[in-house]
Amino acid sequence: MRPTKPVSWFGRLAKATARMTGRPMTFTLALGIIVAWIASGPLFHYSDTWQLAINTATTIVTFLMVFLIQNTQNRDAEAVQVKLDELLRATQGAHNALLDLEELEERELDQIRAGYTRLAAEARATLRAGGQDTGVPEVEPPPKRS
């Protein structure tokens, strides 16, 4: 399996924008624009138009960045989930039923989490008593989907 580059124009734009906006130089440029805007205040007598210019510009940039950042976050989260699923799949003794957990209903996920919370509590109690918390204890099977 070979990694591929995004083919959609939006995917390429989102990835390039995320990479570019996360750099120190971009922050420095934005800071420079703000400083120039503040310095130009006396020239424009701190007018409503002077204030409106920066408010409008920052609102537009923020609005567009929300969508680009969300796209990047979604793609990154999906990639991490696939990697975790592959680790589970390849690990002997791991429960394959845990693959793709993010698709479960909240109630089902809460039931599975409760089983692991109990395991953690039992392991901590064993450690406090001087025992070991290693091994592969049995877990309750995930609830059946209806």
Integer Cα distance of 2 and 83 in angstroms: 14
Q: For position 133, what pLDDT does the model report?
A: 83
| Residue 34: closest CA among 23, 50, 16 | 50
* Mean pLDDT estimate for the chain: 87
- Tokens linked to 126: 């064993």
Average pLDDT over residues 104-129: 91
**CB contact at 8 A, 93 and 137:** no
More confident residue, 51 or 144: 51
- Tokens linked to 3: 């990694």
Q: Could you report the per-residue pLDDT of 2-15, keeping only the tens digit for each?
A: 666 667 888 888 88
pLDDT bucket at 146, cuts 50 / 70 / 90: low
> What is the SS3 assignment for 48?
helix
